[in-house]
Structure 1
């Protein structure tokens, strides 16, 4: 199996084998992200992907889950993805889940019929970056996505039966737009109702546009208290069934579980941290590079 450049996978996929299907990210403009700054977007040659799948079979006698990388694999043509999925299902009949990265706009660029084809061929779940539900924040981070795009893309995925894990970032509105960011994000989550959500606290990545904005004073980092207040607001106002992956290493209070079953317990932990943790009043958020 061959990997080119830096390789990333979502932390819930830590047990999955990784099949590099595309290189880089077709957007690659987000100001907070440096994940794929070492390569240009490209769909890998299908023969190379097939070879890697066969090699993975030799290396792994039993595989429960498979994750397709890089940045937004769903941007590849539907017929290409169908070949990859068919090969995976025949090569790993024991696999219980096949997932990939997808931009929410990638759903919109396909038809629901095409998405259903992918689902029927074995695609179970997509990981998508919401980042924020706030229109201004999305513009500031150069996401090339609007709240309307989010709603449309999520509706198409749901109609096709593809589960979605939406990730978003506490603190991405900075010190000045913290509440606008979390209120809009909570609202759009309640509208779209993803099957899983994964919040993480903002971390400034070296070499990003956002890092330069911080250095120039154009983006003021939120305080730890603001980040906690954002999670507090989120947990107070989410109103649908989902699974909460709030255990990213940068989160001040790592916690995961089903909502609404665990919602009160999670909220209580946040409230207790706000009340008891001295660093919650610190002026600077403490996070680390991904």
Structure 2
């Protein structure tokens, strides 16, 4: 649900399907990751308060039904803390049944917020942040132009967790290609161990039109993993995740990009999840005619 006719496409996490999508920015302030084409068609800008209020007013007739609100576009946390607090206060006043406000956030946005600012945002209603870590490996992060080092990427996630805001981390299987598959898997696992997110989603690399990574592939400079290779990498990644026994991290690999849907709670279900991944790898081993643009035919 959204009430906006501004430029650009609207994107949201799958779990926000029934949320009110409030576009507080247009596009992504970084917008330079080589694997992503989501916001290439628009110039980044922050929305003035009058545009934000117009959307909120349009949603008012549905106030009794709105329990979740997702702040779009690509990294709403780039807004100043004062502006975000103003928006959160208005949302709390307007929607009496509101339970959760969430947003995407880039690593630089999180690093630019102090602990006190993040705690203030949590207390004002920001309960969940979706963070595209993508990889915990220095080489891969540099190759895809993520804009931060591995240490910075980890610290960014740790700041959200330390502030008491729930963190959903996304990683991309296959992002390092064949050459960097093992280091991508192992170092991403170590990053997850250091961050300890509440949720972890493993997506599968897709080569999108308008992305530099697609151009690299077509020039023969990047070799993607086949479906069974993706599962082998995912097995290596999950094997390396060692969270405290008291942890409760929801693992999902159910995005449209994924070859086979997987779900578990870590660390409780780790052994079963590894068995499921091995079974999926065996199932996909016969796939030789696969489309790197759109997954399995």
Q: TM-score, normalised by structure 2?
A: 0.92
What is the aligned partner in structure 2 of residue 288 from structure 1?
294
Secondary structure of the 1:151 match is: helix
Q: 1:277 to 1:147 in 2, by over 3 A?
A: closer
Residue 61 of structure 1 aligns to a residue in which SS? Answer: helix
Report the number of matched residues.
Answer: 288
For the pair 1:253 / 2:260, whether they are aligned, the reply is yes
Q: Aligned to 1:275, which of 274, 282, 293?
A: 282
1:123 to partner: Cα distance? 0.3
Matched with 1:130 is 133
Structure 1: runs of 5 or more not aligned: none
| Partner of residue 118, structure 1 | 121
Give the structure 2 partner of residue 17 of structure 1.
20
Q: Does 1:166 align with 2:169?
A: yes
Deviations 1:141-191 (CA, angstroms, capped at 9, x unpaired): 011011111222122212211111111100000111111111111111111
One of 56, 60, 80 as aligned partner of 1:57: 60
Flag the 1:168–1:177 CA change in 2: closer, same or farther, 3 A. Answer: same
- The answer to whether the 8 A contact 1:224-1:283 is kept is no
SS of residue in 2 equivalent to 1:258: strand
- Higher mean Cα deviation, 69-78 or 266-275? 266-275
Secondary structure in 1 aligned to 2:203?
Answer: strand
Residues 133-212 of structure 1 mapped to structure 2, 5 A cutoff: 133-212=136-215
- Rounded to whole Å, the distance in 2 between the matches of 1:189 and 1:244 is 12
Note the residue ranges of structure 2 that are not aligned, 5 or more in a row.
none
Aligned-pair CA distance for 1:93? 2.2
1:271 deviates by 1.0
Q: Normalising to structure 1: TM-score of the pair?
A: 0.94
Give the deviation of 1:225 after TM superposition. Answer: 2.0
Q: Is 1:223 paired with 2:201? A: no
The alpha-carbon distance between structure 1 residues 277 and 287, as it changes in their structure 2 partners (threshold 3 A), is same
CA distance in 2, matches of 1:22, 1:200: 25
> Which is worse superposed, 137-146 or 45-54?
45-54
- Offset of residue 285 of structure 1: 5.9
**Deviation, structure 1 residue 90:** 1.2
